[in-house]
Amino acid sequence: MRKLRLFVLALIAFVIIAATGGVWWFFTTSFEGERPVLEFDHNISAIGLQKVFTITFMDRKSGLRNTVITIGQDNKTTILSSIDYPQKGIKKKSLSLVIDPLNLKLHDGKATLSISAVDYSLRKNKTSFTKLVNIDLAPPQIY
């Protein structure tokens, strides 16, 4: 009888430890709260006849789920890039992007560049970046 009671207590302790470990694992992997990170190779404040820049998307924990880059002007938004990553584990992705305002039918003036990334966490952590950029298609003039 005493051995049975000791066995039951050991079993209960094992179940509690395993459950605690499982809950800890769930909250640190699948339910993590860290947002993806965006890095730019240089400042994007003005776009001339053509602008080339690189954006690096990173998520150290669950990996990237999707990334979207848009540019908008005069209530018209154009998707420059939209990538859905089919599996977990893509921790870093660099994307080189060419913005050609004439081809996109943008004109001189302000435009809104929007960039977002979502990770594979169950929370679907999202990072968004929106910047007002100046479209300048006029060539420089010397007086």
The string of pLDDT tens digits covering residues 58-106 is: 998 889 999 999 999 999 999 999 999 998 889 999 999 999 999 999 9
Report the distance separating Cα 49 and Cα 66, nearest Å: 29
Across the chain, what does the average pLDDT equal? 87
Could you tell me the two tokens for 53?
């820049």
- Our CA angle for 79, 85, 91, nearest 5°, is 110
The pLDDT value given to residue 82: 96
The one-character DSSP state at 14 is: H
Q: Is the pLDDT higher at 22 or at 6?
A: 6
Contact 36, 117 (CB under 8 A): yes
Q: How confident is the model at residue 123 (pLDDT cuts 50, 70, 90)?
A: confident
* Distance, CA of 78 to CA of 54 (rounded, Å): 18
| β-sheet bridge partners, residue 93 | 57
Label the pairing between strands 64-73 and 109-119.
antiparallel
**Count of CB atoms within 10 A of residue 30's CB?**
14
Q: Running DSSP on this structure, what letter comes out for residue 34?
A: P
Largest distance between two CA atoms of the chain: 103
Q: In what order do the strands lie in the sheet with 37-40?
A: 37-40, 51-58, 92-99
pTM for the full predicted model: 0.78
Q: What was the pLDDT predicted at 24?
A: 66
* pLDDT, position 29: 59
**What DSSP designation does 36 have?**
P
Pairwise pLDDT comparison (44 vs 127), residue with the higher score: 127
